Structure formats: C-alpha cells, structure tokens
A and B are shown apart, each in its own frame.
Chain A
Amino acid sequence: MKKLITLLLTAVMSVACCFGLAACGNDGGKESVGEVELPAVTSENVNQFDDVEIASDFKIGLITLHGESSTYDKNFIDAFKKACTALGLSSSQYIIVTDIPEGEACQTTAADLVDQGCKAIFADSFGHESYLLAVAKAHPEVQFFHATGTTAHTEGLANFHNAFASIYQGRYLAGVAAGLKLKEMSEKGLIKDSNKDKDGNVKVGYIGAWTYAEVISGFTSWYLGVRSEYPNVVMEVQFTGSWYDETAEKTAAETLIRRGAALISQHADSMGAPTACENAGIPNVSYNGSTIKACPDTFIISSKIDWTYYFKWIIASVGGNAEAVPTDFAGTINDGCMVALTAINGDVMAEGTVEKLVEVRGKLLDGSLKVFDCSKFTVDGRTVASYMADVDTDDDFTPDTNVIKTEGGTTYFAESEFRSAPYFDIQIDGVTYLNAVYGTDDDGKPIFITFDEE
C-alpha cells in the first residue's frame, strides 16, 4: 500500500514537473532563446603567447582566497587552467592552492610553492598582498603577481607585480546593450510617464558601493554607453556603503525602481539588486558574471575581467622568452580581451544587440572610440579641458597629474593609463547622486550624504 502511494506521488510529481518546465519554456508564448554568445574577437594578440616555448622545468603556482564555489575565485582558476593548457604546461607544471585566508597562511603557502620549485606565483585577493610581498622580498629569484593590489609601483621590487583591467570599456559595452533595450522599450510603449523626469528624459538607476573612483568610473562609463544609443536618458545613483550587503543593495534597487528607473545596473557583489529587478520585472545589467540563472526574465548582459591573457603572459615571460610583464598592468580590451562580456540573454536583449556590440567593440579595439571622450559629456554644462587627478597616492589625495589627453583629434579622459587602479571621479551632467558615501566616521560607520530634491 505504502509502495503504491509512493509510486502515485512520484508519478504526479513528475507530470507536474513536466508541465512546470513546459510553462517556463513557453513564457509569454515566445520560444526561449537562452544565452547568446558574442562572436570572439579576432584580435591578433589574443593568442600572442601561444607559440612561446616554455622551459620544461618551469612551474607556476596560483593562490586563491576561496575555492571554485566562489565566482570571484572560479574566474581566476578557470582562466589559469585555460592559460596553462594553451601554453602546453603539463599538470605537474602548475599548482593551484585554494582556500588560503588573508593572513600568515598566504605567506606559508607562497613560500611552500617556492620550495616546490615554482618560478612564478600569483595570488588573487586584496588582503594577500602584504604576505605575498614578504615572500617576494625573501625570494628575488621568483616572480610574484598580485591582482587588485596597489603597492607594486611604490615598492620598487623587480619581482613583484600588480594587475587589474580597464573594466570601464566592458561597462561601456554593457551600457550600449542597455541603451538598445531602452530604445526598444520606448518603441513598444513600455516607458511610462512615471519613468521620466520633468524634462522628459527616461530614468535609469545604478547601485554603487562607495563614492570612490572605482565605482564612479564604472557607472559613468556605463551611463555613457547607454546614452550613446538612447540620448534622452538620466541616471540616478544610490550608494550602499558596502561591497557586499544583500539587503542594502536590494533596498537601493527598490528605491530606484519606485523613483521610476526603467532599467538598472550595479557595482556591488551580492544578488540583492538583480533579485529586486527580477521581482519587479525591470531589466538589469550585471557585473562580474552572468545572473541569468536567477534572473532569466530581466538579466541582459554583464561585463567581467578575463585573466587568461595575463596568465599566459606570466608563463611566457617567466618560463619563456617573452618580454617581461610590467610592474603595474591594466589590461584593456586590446590585451587579449582581458575586458570581456558574458553571454547575452537572448530573451531579454533588444533586437540587433549582438551586431551593435560587435561594431562598438571594433571601434574600442581600433582606438577610434574613447569611452571618456570629452565631447560626449559635460560638467555643469561645460566641456572638460583639463583635469588634475590624484594618480600618485598620498595621504592628502593631492591631485598631481593632468589626465586629459588628445589623440587622433579626440580629447579624452585617459582612465587607467597613468595607473592601473581607476581615478575617474567626476560627476558628469545627467547623473544624480541620491546620496554619497565618501568614507567612514570615527565609529567606522559609512558617512552617508543625502542631497535635497530639486
């Protein structure tokens, strides 16, 4: 009897599942397209190092903060394996050590990798830097590389390097996809009056972590991308004062949606904002990885950093005869596509997105398009002619370098060219900060600044 009931229940459930799946697939009576991959870039330097001969006794080690279960670390592990395979390293020539906390364990692990014969060692987390640096000082014969760090160019060690990527280019492209989506929404009459400000511009929203250059540079490039396709757009930015705060990010997204945002993007690491967008049916542009699984109806595209090229360069220069990796390196879209885009959500993207992205990407690749082109944005109604940025870090944030350059007739803000870490921190016209968080007070709480409504 019991068996029969179990059998019946199983049958009912499997039938229900089938219907459920079928229902998902046919949502809105439209066939699901799923993920659409952009055509790969046919840039010559993508495979630049693939033919370099690598010494047979060369060995490289990777240290990651967490394991493959973390998307941040998985991004490094996957790229690392891809690079090692592409350059023909055998499995005994690379070592991956995961789950190494930001403490003495990093130092011990790095030293152990040296003992194991590694000639190059890479660590992926911000807090690893000082421990890796200590080992680098003790072992000048081994090359050390560190992602997101800041001290390499001031330490002056020949064997210690920092790296990052000019991710603003990826953000710009993601913005283009969002602009096309806005255009389509407006043609279909999906933009309501509540989505517009008093001048008739459509509102988009952005959730940022802190009011720092890294975030400002990110949303400004994204906004310029949106505006390149859909000119009548303004952006509202809400800051959370945290890199990872699911509740705050979700609340911020809900606030922006309530204020009329027709489309949202974010620079913060949790699923808070994407989830809020999925719940409200507002299209979302993500960062660092695809959120299509959790947000199949709203995710459009995401920009991310692909480290494969950098890993190949390390292997080819330390293990082969390629030129040395710079002390402080910011990989651009030209550098073997270190700046990359995830697959696009075919069910949400506007028609023609793939073609447009390929076209704009081509212009970024050949340099004919500059993201921070000074003729494309204004500050207080005026064009920027020169800007002193704080490139060489000091305690007082003294502006020291004019970062406005003219090249091939285009005057632009040269982001990440003077230093890998971003320094674009201008608030351009069309962007409204709902609040700001520049730092913390004596108690460590983020100092939020709120602004009066117009």
Chain B
Amino acid sequence: MEEVKTVREPLFHMVKRGNITLLKRLGIYAGAIVAGILLTSILCVVASSDKSNPLEMFSSMFSGVFGTERRFWTFLRDTALLLGISLALLPAFKMKFWNLGANGQVLMGCLVTIACMRNLGGKIPDAGIIAIMTVASVLAGAAWAVIPAIFKAFFKTNETLFTLMMNYVAQGLVVYMITVWAPSGSGSLSPEVYGRLPNIGNGYLLTIIVSAILTVFMFFYLSRSKHGYELSVVGESENTARYVGINVKKVVIRTLILSGAMCGLMGLLIGGSINYTVSSEIVNNMGFTGIMASWLAKFNPLVLIGTCGLITFISKGMGQVRQDFGFYNDAIGNVVLGIIYFFIIGCEFFITYKLIFRKKNKTDFTAIENSTQKGKGGNE
C-alpha cells in the first residue's frame, strides 16, 4: 500500500530579493506611508472630538505643508536644515562611526554664534561679526565631534556613548550660559540684533542654498574623492584599510572634523539666520531625526533629499492635524508620528524580501522540491 505523505506548506515564505527597481522601491515606500496614515487617521478620528472623516487627515497634512506660500517656504527651509544635519552624519556613518552627537555639535555651533553676536554686537561691523562667528561655529562643531573621534582612534572608546554624552554636555553648557546672559531667571534670551546673517531674497533661501551646496559637495566627496573612498574602506574593514596602507586614525579624525564642522555650520544658520537666540532645545532633536533620514536614504546624499523631505512633510503635516483635530498636547501627535515612522522603517523588510504566498490550487510539490534543491545547489 502506498503511504500518503502530507506536507504542510506555510501560508507564505520569504525570498530575498536580488535587485529592486527604483520604481518598485518608491512604490513600496508610498504604500507604507499611505497605510501608516490610513491607520493613524482612524486613531485620530477616534481621539478627536469634532472630526469624523479619516480622510480629513490627508487634507490637513497637505494644507499644513502646501496650504500657503509661507508654509511651503517653511517646509523647504526645515527640510534643508534636516538635510544639512543628515548630510553631516553621512561620512561618519559610511565609516561605521556611529555619530549620535549631531545634536550637540549643532548646538555648540549655535551657542558660539550667539556668543559672538552678543559680545561683538555694536563693537565691530556686522560683516566682521559674521566672519568671526562663521569660523567660530564651524570650529566649535568640529571640536565637539573630534573629541570622541580622538578617543576612538587612540583609545578605542565606544563612540556611540561618547558622542551621545557630548550632547548633554552641550545642553548643560547652553543652560549655564543662559543663566549668565539672562540673570533675571526667566530662562530665555531675547533675540540678538547685531550680526544677523543677511537675507537672500527671503528669510528662507539662505538655509536652502547652503544645504544644496552641501548636498552636491557631499555627493562628490563620497563617490568621487580619495577621502570618500578611504572612509568607505575603513567602514568595510579596518584591517583591510590598514593592509592597503590607509592611516585609519587619520581618516577617523579627519572625517569627524568634517562631520562636526558641517553640524557647526547648521548651528550657525539656526542661530544666526533663523532664531537669533539659543536654548537647549533649539536643535529640536534633528541630530537624531537625521540618523533615521540617512539610514532610510541608504547613505546616498541625493536620496537623502527625498527622505528628509518626507520626514519634514510628515512632522509639519502632523502639526496641522493637531491644530485641526484639536489635539492640545503632543501625546497623540507623537504616537501618530511613531506609527508612521514604524511603517516607513518596517517597509524596508519588503524591499529586502519578497513574500511568496501559498497558491490556492493544488500545490505542485515537485516544483517546490526542485526549487529548494536548486537553492541548495546554489550554496554549494
């Protein structure tokens, strides 16, 4: 008698994709975002007292970003700021140096900028102040990044913790300086009048132009320059780098000086061109958001423009949703942002893997067997 063999085939199985077309990849992203917003829109409608149509969340988000000329410019400028900070992270990340200290590096740039504006304002011409504060902020950002780099290069300290802790040192310094500059105890500095960076066209363009230049620079630096090549080799394997004669310590320190200097430059823009003041929260955690942006962009400066735009769109749009839906604290807004980000990051799975579902009709076992054998064969 013939034995009946039963095979329980799973509902689906995962197959690693080889290459994926850009179009397909964008499609998956778009699908993830729409799914994320759809899911959270239901949450928002449930939480809101006067909105009942989940689709209103879409219109709110779009009006919050594109509704008026001012909103659109703000969107572009904020994207540019995030882009600038994310770009600064790229070379370090490509080298597998996990720089979590962008927040602090930007903040130091901003603090030094304000220090120059305060102390030199009215004493020397604005052009002089601007020259000094530009140099000083770039140096301050670079210094804040190079300290952990030196320790990493010479003493093998953990750069993740070190750079992270430097953020808090920078924040503490800012809080301290504010008590020195504003002894009344109000805890806030009024905007500086002297040494403001010039407006190009409108108040938004300067930041956008600086970030655009940085993007082009970073693209060529990473893909076309010797430095870029060296740091990617160090990132792949330090031993290989050493073997081919790359001075690893030098590359680590040099790259972090660049990373920190760019952060310092963004701090200059935040202090000297946008806010004219400093507070411990002024960087708005863009140093951390930038990490997500650069990971999503797979460390490609051009794709980064898109991911930064996307993240800024979602957070700006959510601000408008909160206004329109009557959420008067950041709790629900943060939950929604978290869920949408989760969808975006989660969809990476579908970019890396393909799901193959169980066919509804009778399974052709021989085909599966063949394919598994083929797979095995490939490994041999």
Contact = CB atoms under 8 A, between A and B. Distances in A.
B180 interface: yes
Interface stretch (B33-41, B127-135, B159-167, B272-280): B272-280
B186 A99 contact: no
Interface string A276-298: 00000000000000000000000
A209 interface: yes
Interface stretch (A100-108, A314-322, A359-367, A383-391): A100-108
B330 A444 contact: no
B70 A96 contact: no
A42 interface: no
Contacts of A91: 50, 326
B344 to A, nearest CB: 23
B188 interface: yes
A115 B188 contact: no
B180 A440 contact: yes
Contacts of A96: 323, 326, 328
A98 B329 contact: yes
Nearest to B188: A127
B282 interface: yes
Interface string A41-76: 000000000000000000000000011110000000
A267 to B, nearest CB: 12
Contact of B279 (A69, A101, A112, A210): A101
Interface in A219-249: 241-243
A157 interface: no
B323 A131 contact: no
B198 interface: no
Interface string B262-282: 000000000000111101011
A99 B281 CA distance: 12
B125 interface: no
A97 B326 CA distance: 9
A182 interface: no
Nearest to B324: A95
A115 B320 CA distance: 14
Contacts of B172: none
Interface residues of A, number: 36
A102 B279 contact: yes
B190 interface: yes
Contacts of B329: 66-69, 98-99
A326 B136 CA distance: 45
> Which of B181, B188, B277, B279 has the most chain A CB within a 10 Å cutoff?
B188
A454 interface: no
Given A91-B50, A103-B279, A444-B179, A112 B68 contact: yes
B75 to A, nearest CB: 11
Contact of A77 (B187, B191, B279, B328): B328
Contact of B322 (A98, A125, A440): A98
Contacts of B190: 127, 129-130
Interface string A305-327: 00000000000000000000000
Interface residues of B, number: 34
B277 A103 contact: yes
A242 B279 contact: no
B286 to A, nearest CB: 13
B217 to A, nearest CB: 26
A428 B329 CA distance: 43
Contact of B328 (A67, A112, A242, A443): A67
Interface of B is mostly: loop
Contacts, number: 81
Contacts of B186: 126-127
A111 interface: yes
B289 interface: no
Contacts of B185: 209-210, 241-243
A209 B184 CA distance: 11
Given A99-B330, A102-B188, A112-B71, A439 B183 contact: yes
A80 to B, nearest CB: 10
Interface in A105-126: 108, 111-112, 115, 125-126
Contacts of B191: 130-131
B300 interface: no
Interface in B309-365: 319, 322-323, 326, 328-331
A440 B183 contact: yes
A101 B328 contact: no
B183 A108 contact: no
B280 to A, nearest CB: 10
Contacts of A77: 328
Contact of A101 (B50, B70, B282): B282
Nearest to B277: A103
Contacts of A67: 328-331
A69 B129 CA distance: 41
B176 interface: yes
Nearest to A102: B188
Contacts of B326: 91, 96
Contacts of A103: 274-275, 277, 279, 282
A67 B331 CA distance: 9
A98 B330 contact: yes
Nearest to A438: B183
Interface string B281-324: 11010000000000000000000000000000000000100110
Contacts of B328: 67-68, 77, 96, 98
A449 B370 CA distance: 88
Interface string A154-168: 000000000000000
B113 to A, nearest CB: 13
A94 to B, nearest CB: 10
Nearest to B183: A440
A69 B331 contact: yes
Nearest to A437: B185
Contact of A444 (B183, B188, B279): B183
A125 B70 CA distance: 24
A13 to B, nearest CB: 28
Contact of B187 (A127, A241, A440): A127
B46 to A, nearest CB: 18
Interface string B59-103: 000000000101100100000000000000000000000000000
Given A96-B323, A130-B190, A444-B176, A101 B281 contact: yes
Contact of A104 (B71, B181, B275, B330): B275
A376 to B, nearest CB: 30
A78 to B, nearest CB: 10
Top 7 A-B residue pairs of the complex, sorted by shortest distance between their CB atoms? A67-B329, A127-B188, A444-B180, A440-B183, A444-B179, A103-B275, A68-B329
23 contacts: A67-B328, A67-B331, A69-B330, A91-B326, A95-B323, A96-B323, A99-B329, A99-B330, A101-B282, A102-B188, A103-B279, A111-B70, A126-B186, A126-B188, A127-B188, A127-B279, A130-B190, A131-B191, A243-B187, A440-B180, A440-B183, A442-B180, A445-B179
